[in-house]
Amino acid sequence: MEKVFRDPVHNLIGFDRERDRLVLELIETRELQRLRYIKLMGVSYVVYPGADHNRFSHSLGVAFLMKRVISGMRSFRADPRFRTLIAELERYRPLLLAAALLHDIGHFPLSHLLEGFIGQNHEDWTVKLVQDPASEVHQVLRAADARYPDQVAQIIARTFKPSFAVKLISSQLDVDRMDYLLRDSYHSGVGYGRFDLEWLLHSLRLVQQGDDWEVAVDEKKGLRAVESYLLARYYMYQQVYHHKTSRAAGAMVRGILQRATELLQADQEIFCTEALKGLLLDPAHLSCDAFLQLDDPLLTFALQQWSMSADSILSDLCRRFLRRRIFKTLEVDAAGYRHCEPKLTALARRAGFDPAYYLVIDTAVSDPYIDGLLLGAQGRNRAEAGEGIYLADEALRLTELSRHSALIGAISNRAFVRDRLCFPEELRQGIEGIFAHSGSRPH
Amino acid sequence: MEKVFRDPVHNLIGFDRERDRLVLELIETRELQRLRYIKLMGVSYVVYPGADHNRFSHSLGVAFLMKRVISGMRSFRADPRFRTLIAELERYRPLLLAAALLHDIGHFPLSHLLEGFIGQNHEDWTVKLVQDPASEVHQVLRAADARYPDQVAQIIARTFKPSFAVKLISSQLDVDRMDYLLRDSYHSGVGYGRFDLEWLLHSLRLVQQGDDWEVAVDEKKGLRAVESYLLARYYMYQQVYHHKTSRAAGAMVRGILQRATELLQADQEIFCTEALKGLLLDPAHLSCDAFLQLDDPLLTFALQQWSMSADSILSDLCRRFLRRRIFKTLEVDAAGYRHCEPKLTALARRAGFDPAYYLVIDTAVSDPYIDGLLLGAQGRNRAEAGEGIYLADEALRLTELSRHSALIGAISNRAFVRDRLCFPEELRQGIEGIFAHSGSRPH
Amino acid sequence: MEKVFRDPVHNLIGFDRERDRLVLELIETRELQRLRYIKLMGVSYVVYPGADHNRFSHSLGVAFLMKRVISGMRSFRADPRFRTLIAELERYRPLLLAAALLHDIGHFPLSHLLEGFIGQNHEDWTVKLVQDPASEVHQVLRAADARYPDQVAQIIARTFKPSFAVKLISSQLDVDRMDYLLRDSYHSGVGYGRFDLEWLLHSLRLVQQGDDWEVAVDEKKGLRAVESYLLARYYMYQQVYHHKTSRAAGAMVRGILQRATELLQADQEIFCTEALKGLLLDPAHLSCDAFLQLDDPLLTFALQQWSMSADSILSDLCRRFLRRRIFKTLEVDAAGYRHCEPKLTALARRAGFDPAYYLVIDTAVSDPYIDGLLLGAQGRNRAEAGEGIYLADEALRLTELSRHSALIGAISNRAFVRDRLCFPEELRQGIEGIFAHSGSRPH
Amino acid sequence: MEKVFRDPVHNLIGFDRERDRLVLELIETRELQRLRYIKLMGVSYVVYPGADHNRFSHSLGVAFLMKRVISGMRSFRADPRFRTLIAELERYRPLLLAAALLHDIGHFPLSHLLEGFIGQNHEDWTVKLVQDPASEVHQVLRAADARYPDQVAQIIARTFKPSFAVKLISSQLDVDRMDYLLRDSYHSGVGYGRFDLEWLLHSLRLVQQGDDWEVAVDEKKGLRAVESYLLARYYMYQQVYHHKTSRAAGAMVRGILQRATELLQADQEIFCTEALKGLLLDPAHLSCDAFLQLDDPLLTFALQQWSMSADSILSDLCRRFLRRRIFKTLEVDAAGYRHCEPKLTALARRAGFDPAYYLVIDTAVSDPYIDGLLLGAQGRNRAEAGEGIYLADEALRLTELSRHSALIGAISNRAFVRDRLCFPEELRQGIEGIFAHSGSRPH
């Protein structure tokens, strides 16, 4: 008998009340329920009014896709080359589903925005929470199997073997990305993130290479599906995640948090909770309990309170954000910007704007695809890259994807970088004038 | 040249930068932007994890549908019977779009839940805000035309003439419902709310009757489309809006607010902002500015703070809500319930639960359709009912819908009422036992 | 390893190359491949230009839904009440899939239209083909298991036990209807036929009653899903299958076939193949081989040839059909029609139209739902009705659906009948005049 | 008042009964109605069972998109640079809609397959039919305006000025492609052909350059939309239109027609109509009336008749096609193939297969995008290429698309060519053996 959740992306998300009990129990924990209050797309809702869906539904989706991957492999049971894999997948099923479900519990409010500001990443917090004996997820995991807390932590930290457990959850072709591309695309209403999920799952292969595993797709069947998946990701970054207005909104929030931190450090009276104070003033010693009190409603509430604060910079920035008077942007290059910087700073000051908060450079970087060979050569770490994607022929021989695909070749191993100057509308004319006269035209 | 918004329901929502400038300016006001922080479906997200979309995108959708209705009527320009109507629609276009856009600005956080708790309705607040000289919407409206603030207020208050302006925005067949059914259906992932929007718009007619107007659909073309629209509404109430778990969550929130109010009245120290205090202790004198500070993040933040409060009832209820340990429900009838009440109360007390907060009756009522004749006869007011829907033949003679439709007849003039007893999981067995022994079985 | 088909309704239709080999082999037979050349919606394409999809894709869909039903039941494997059922389903799996796939092979071209004209039904032809030792399906079935040809025939003829095999394929809640409603809705572009397939499958139950079986849905979960399914069917009949223009087109084709038959009987020279001649002149002795030569391209080609024939009635009717000058219609009641018949006939003759072909009454009947009790009482046969639908409570006690549903109650046990007079455009004014003056208004 | 058609791709396709009367009258002509009987995707239904939709619904879609393009430009009416364009579009509206609707009336059955076989293209036949005084389209066009027949012919022949009329209907970014990509994608059930139609229309620009016009998209808004459109086209060719099985089916049909022609030339008795005989034996003198008798049902019927003919090659090929025993394929390169040809031929003969019909090379070529500069430089003609696509900045300065897009750059100015050897299943092992031993591996 299944327990089912209605989901707009996957329709019915079902888990078996017996076999998948662990997942169902983890869903009821404080750590998972908290994700209801953290938006999956951060501040993108300023551009896409429909996009305030949350990480809780995403986490269900990721666990569900993991379940589908495991079930899907069973269709190869007649093929002796897949027997070990299928047995392993069954053996690790509870662990794989648990790790998929939990992979995001370490997220800060406003997701990646705060990661950068605080200088901590969500994977480390996920590991910490899973291993904290006081956390509910830890207790549920341990009650199921004493090794599970450590094993989930290893999967998240990418040290677990067999490595397919790691790669299915976090690589360049993983169930996390599959879910968020479809989900963000659905709620924002842009078509860019759609790809051929059914066909991709149908052509997905896990292939053992020595004592490692690669995630691959069937060469004959899956090339176009995996291309469409990578292009979906490329477009979502280009068009949606790195949309100029949502990046500018992010830059404003960073400025706000910066200002609030400084005021708190200077013992100025502004609204704050203990947990938020911990985050801003001493993140290195933030407790798990305090961490779990941090979510989007708290941040939004703080912005509203700060919009009425005595500090004119803090209140002005918050009001602008809440009334959606988002900073304007201009694409610049580093050299041109440095050249103009003195004039820009002077302009801002003359208009009464402190350049530290009102003239901000935002740099958005995306790697649509980094091929596996390069990854090996550079020893680049996972946070930047993930793993290469391979095509498997009938004999399960692998070739690297970008060798086969002109389209993917065109966007491989390239960091797409956009530097944008963000500033209030009031400065627009002045700034455009400065760049126009400098001869160093903005992009 | 159009300004467009991406919308998952209508795809591109566009307004002309010249003709529809008023709408575009109203979108930038504080009152509209606040709706980003009020969920359209209240606490339904506890059941439908994808359903935390907001009233801002809904408001854009309603204004857009109004624009489509106005444009659609233009296709009758060759028919002399529609000439006056088309001219009127053009004349009132800015007003109609403005009223459609603004119809929801008076909503409390958690939408209808707080309306009932406080005993004020959102239409009155919308009127108040539109007429408040200090509000941004008032200023924008007045700058466009000095009569607009009053006229919008009249449309919302349903006193405006010509009455098609009223009925298009608020009746049993209005652009508000068209949008929210589709939108709630989309984000929650249930199919129930889908109906044939294109065909319904195509068959919509406005028909002058004496000095009044009726909203009608073409008898030959539109019967099924309007049926599908009413059935969509019927199902959304039965299955989604009145889902037992989301109603129980609502009952919990009412209990929480009740408890918080009592503690504040007793001068107990609990988290509260001035605006929230105003709402709970003296709603009759709430200022517009305080009203505008009330939104979902504030309420959610309050729940989180209260979950750590010293009052054990308040903190327990909040923790249950936030960890999604939602009350269980049992459908009861009034008589059976009264009969068992003493035993139920005793049971709760023995288990240490104060019955005032842990044994709650929730009554959900929906009117799928009330026919126009009955409405006339009873003089029922708009808040309960709205207006009848008519079918127009080729000569624009009207007949009331339920006369023509067996399906609609089956759900007309019937209030669908469900009384549910809501209680904590811990009491389930005891309560089921009491009802089982009383001979008065729950439904 | 699965063989997959792309399908616009179910996306990927996959069958296991080992387990479902029988289905894959049956797909390659002449009898199945012929269904590519028979449209699922007959002549409805004259109204819905996108609706010329075929019975082959429908047959794949039906077999696939059967596979999903069988797999779905496995989720109850922990419940001892379902163990026998699950074992039975596994045992009969090849047979169930085969019967689902083959259920339509006995269809004439133009589907139901020719059934009525010839007075034979497709189920009888399906049985005949399955049992014909010369047919490819017979040979493939027999090679898999000597009993299969007879067993499939029994399923189609509704005599097979256990009866769930019969009911899943042909009852008021069967995989055949599930597929065609969705498929016809998809290709015609109307939304009416959509229902909540996933939820319906999720709430479907098979319940043993004595030595019989009933198809039921879970009372708590499935009521709305089964309602939406029955309403989908109701609307597809009301709006699409019984659309006046497509019914009129059908009436024209019947007239054409009538005329062609008479000319052939009179030994007039008109285009015909041997198989078609057999069908029209001596259907009782049509051979299986001749039957298999009958398909839509043949009929369409015949219409084109006949449009150039010397017989003015035959050629005129064919030209009207092919140039889409479809007869107009007027809804009439029997009494009113009889009253006016002499005048109508005279009118037609005066205008040079033979009333036998140019004044045709078309009667469209649909039974949205007939409840199981009535069915029992009347001993109505399957061709008219099918079986009742039941709701199953937790103890697997059954209640008849219409007892629980006001909406279904409103359309239960009612035959929706529409009599329409069909005639050429040229006669419209005259006919309307006659009815207007007769005092017996058409509907 | 609009007349509407239900369409699965565009939902409601409406044309105004007054303004667009010409289009509505053209729809009723014999030439348009014939397109109901010509499948849009030729023989692709052998691979995609849902894909037997027709050119009639496509033609409606193309005319509707043209209407949307014309309406869309009206949103620039406040911009003086677009005033002339808008006026011109209004002036040419009937002509543009007519040309869009009629662009495909010259198609042979089986679409492009017969074009190649016969050596005539459909544009020439469209021109011929439009100018033939006996054709219904000619008469309807002329009745509306005496110049229309010639002007439509000029648009189809690409000689009409202003050239936007030509380019909107036939270029690398035209309403024809927009419709067929979406339509083929919809009915076949593959997602590849979907692109962001609404955004593409929203960002479409027509820009005057000297006395010529270019079709462009707004540089800031439309780059991604036009990329997604070109990628949709690229994928539809790679995955669907050039699917190996559907190409092999096409090769078989060419072999069948070749054989039938030879038999007819040799006065062998096989089924044929006069029109088909004219097509096969003397296409240069085919009359318009004979042309209009050619359609898919005729061809399918012929295949069925020929499958029973005395000629063993003809009947065998037809039976294989109809029972879907489609030739297998092997990708080869020209050199490798020539090297192996003698052995292959000998193999076929030994197995009793005439190599002329059973060993066929099929060459599929697609040009995903050819840039405008190259087109100019080479003077390549329209049949091969079409026109470049441009990006327009705010000052309406144009740059060629591939300059801005790494993705489009990767597939620009490249012909994607696939040579495939097609042969019966029975020869597969032998053929693979020959290639394996030759050292010249197939792809």
Question: Average pLDDT in the D179-190 region?
Answer: 96
B355 and B408 Cβ atoms separated by less than 8 Å? no
Question: Residue B191 half-sphere exposure, CB side, CA atoms within 13 Å?
Answer: 21
Q: Do B18 and D78 touch (CB under 8 A)?
A: yes
Whether A373 has a pLDDT exceeding 70, the answer reads: no
What is the distance, to the nearest Å, from the Cα of residue B408 to the centroid of all Cα atoms in its chain? 22
Count of alpha carbons within 13 angstroms of residue B416, beta-carbon side: 18
- Mean pLDDT is lowest, of A385-399, C307-321, C416-430, D158-172, for A385-399
Q: Which of B323-327, C334-338, D17-21, D218-222 has the lowest mean pLDDT?
A: C334-338
pLDDT digits 0-9 by tens, D211-244: 788 889 999 889 999 999 999 999 999 889 999 9
Q: Answer yes or no: do B228 and C406 touch at CB < 8 A.
A: no
- Minimal Cα–Cα distance from A439 to chain B, Å? 31
Q: Which chains touch A (3 or more CB pairs under 8 A)?
A: B, C, D
Mean pLDDT value across residues B124-148: 98
Q: Provide DSSP, A52-65.
A: --BHHHHHHHHHHH
What residues of A are in the C interface, CB distance below 8 Å? 1-2, 4, 11-12, 14, 16-18, 75-76, 78-79, 198-199, 202
Cβ proximity of B131 and B153 under 8 Å: yes
| Beta strand pairing call for B212-218 and B390-392 | parallel
> Quick one: average pLDDT of A94-121?
94
Q: Residue D1 is nearest to which of B12, B14, B76, comparing CB atoms? A: B76
Greatest Cα pair distance, chain A, in angstroms, is 76
What is the pLDDT, as a whole number, of residue B371? 79
Query: pLDDT at residue B382 above 60?
Result: no
Interface of D with C (CB under 8 A): 5-9, 11, 28-30, 33, 36-37, 45, 47-50, 52-54, 56-57, 60, 186-190, 273, 293, 295-298, 300-301, 304-305, 322-325
Rg (CA), chain C: 23
Of A438-442, D143-147, D249-253, the one with minimum mean pLDDT is A438-442
Reply yes or no on whether the pLDDT at D101 is more than 80. Answer: yes
In this prediction, residue A385 has a pLDDT band, given cuts at 50, 70 and 90, of: very low
Identify the CATH number of the domain in which residue C278 sits: 1.20.1250.30
Nearest to C57 among D7, D36, D50 (CB): D50
Q: Is C291 within the bounds of a domain? A: yes
Quick one: which of D427, D237, D240 has its CA closest to D320? D427
For C136-192, the pLDDT digits (tens) are 999 999 999 999 999 999 999 999 999 999 999 999 999 999 999 999 999 999 988
The domain in which residue A97 lies consists of 2-233
In a domain, A243, yes or no: no
By the 10 Å C-beta count (0-12 exposed, 13-18 middle, 19+ buried), A428 is classed as middle
Number of domains in chain C: 2
> Which residue does chain D place closest to A228, by CA atoms?
D192
C178 and C139 in one domain? Answer: yes
Measured between CB atoms, which of A190, A196, A231 is closest to D231?
A231
- Confirm whether C94 is domain-assigned: yes
Tell whether C116 and C155 lie within a shared domain.
Answer: yes
pLDDT in tens, C13-36: 999 999 999 999 999 999 999 999
Closest to C64 measured CA to CA, from C179, C164, C148:
C179
Q: Closest approach of chain B CAs to the CA of C196, in angstroms?
A: 7
H helix count then E strand count, chain D = 22, 9
Name the nearest CA neighbour of C206 among C85, C316, C311, C317: C85
- Per DSSP, A204 falls in state E
pLDDT at D427 over 90: yes
Confidence of residue D337 (pLDDT cuts 50, 70, 90): confident
What is the domain-level CATH number for residue A29? Answer: 1.10.3210.10
Q: Out of B16, B79, B202, name the one closest to residue D75 (CB).
A: B16
A222: nearest CA partner in chain D: D239
| pLDDT bracket for residue C427 (50, 70, 90) | very high
The chains in contact with chain D, meaning 3 or more Cβ pairs closer than 8 Å, are: A, B, C
d(CA A220, CA D241): 17
ipTM of the predicted structure? 0.93
The whole-number average pLDDT for the span B115-123 is 91
The whole-angstrom distance between A142's CA and the closest CA on chain B is 20
- Chain B residues within 8 Å of chain C (Cβ atoms): 190-192, 194-196, 224, 228, 231, 235, 238-239, 406-407, 409-411, 414
Vertex D297: Cα angle to D169 and D356 (nearest 5):
90
Higher pLDDT: D372 or B236? It is B236
The reply to whether A228 falls in a domain is: yes
Q: Do residues C99 and C185 both lie within one domain?
A: yes
SS3 C53: coil
Interface test with C, best of A5, A9, A12, A197 (most C CBs within 10 A): A12
Position D278 scores a pLDDT of: 97
Average pLDDT over residues C116-131: 94
Summarised one tens digit per residue, pLDDT across range D285-309 is 999 999 999 999 999 999 999 999 9
Mean pLDDT for A380-402 is: 75
**Highest mean pLDDT pick, A200-209, B371-380, D132-141:** D132-141
Nearest 5 degrees, angle CA B141-CA B144-CA B145?
85
Average pLDDT taken over every residue of chain B: 92
- Distance from the Cα of A407 to chain D's closest Cα (Å) equals 6
* Interface chains of chain C (3 or more CB pairs under 8 Å): A, B, D
Asked whether residue D230 is assigned to any structural domain, the reply reads yes
Q: Which of A371-375, B328-332, B393-397, D425-429 has the lowest mean pLDDT?
A: A371-375
- Note whether A224 contacts D231, CB cutoff 8 Å: no
Interchain proximity B1–D202, CB inside 8 Å: no
Predicted local distance difference test score (pLDDT) of residue B438? 77
CB pairs under 8 A between A and B: 111
- Å between A7 CA and nearest CA of chain C: 12
Name the residue in chain C with its Cα closest to that of A12: C198
Residue of C nearest to A82 (CA): C1
Tell me the residue type at B287: S
**pLDDT tens string A333-348:** 888 888 899 999 999 9
Q: Is residue D363 part of a domain?
A: no
pTM for the structure as a whole: 0.95
Number of A to D CB contacts under 8 A, please give it.
42
Test mutation, B220, B233, B235, B413, chain C, max C CBs within 10 A:
B235
Beta carbons of A189 and B9 less than 8 Å apart: yes
How much is the average pLDDT of A11-30? 96
For residue A375, the model assigns a pLDDT of: 57
Residues C235 and C263 in one domain: no
**Overall average pLDDT of the C278-298 stretch:** 97
Convert the pLDDT of each residue in D49-95 to its tens digit.
999 999 999 999 999 999 999 999 998 988 999 998 999 999 999 99
| A242 pLDDT more than 60 | yes
Contact assignment for D296 to C297 by CB distance below 8 Å: yes
Confidence check: pLDDT of B178 > 50 = yes
Say yes or no: C161 and C306 in one domain: no
Q: Which of B12, B18, B198 sits opposite D202 (nearest CB)?
A: B12
pLDDT of residue C413: 86
Q: Do D1 and B199 touch (CB under 8 A)?
A: no
Inter-chain contact A187–B36, Cβ cutoff 8 Å? no
Stretch B327-355: mean pLDDT, rounded?
Answer: 93
- Candidate from A297-306, B396-405, D320-329 with smallest mean pLDDT: B396-405
- Confidence band of B381 (pLDDT split at 50, 70, 90): very low
- What percent of chain A shows pLDDT beyond 70? 95
Mean pLDDT in chain C? 92
Task: Report the chain A residue with the minimal C-alpha distance to residue B8.
Answer: A189
| In a domain? residue D61 | yes
CB spacing of A189 vs B298 below 8 angstroms: no
- Is position C347 within any domain? no
* pLDDT above 80 (res A350): yes
> For residue C42, which residues of chain D lie inside 8 Å, CB to CB?
none
Q: Quick check: A191 and D407 CB within 8 A?
A: no
What is the band of D436 on the pLDDT scale with cuts at 50, 70, 90? confident
pLDDT of residue A442: 46
Residues of C with CB under 8 A from a CB of D: 5-9, 11, 28-30, 33, 36-37, 45, 47-50, 52-54, 56-57, 60, 186-190, 273, 293, 295-298, 300-301, 304-305, 322-325
H-assigned helices in C205-363: 219-235, 244-265, 274-281, 288-292, 296-306, 312-322, 334-350, 355-358
Confidence of residue D442 (pLDDT cuts 50, 70, 90): very low
Using 50, 70 and 90 to split pLDDT, how confident is the model at C384? very low
pLDDT of amino acid A440: 54
- A414 pLDDT higher than 90: no
Contact A341, A360 (CB under 8 A): no
C377: Cβ–Cβ under 8 A, 6 or more apart, which residues?
Answer: none
C50 and D9: CB-CB below 8 Å?
Answer: yes
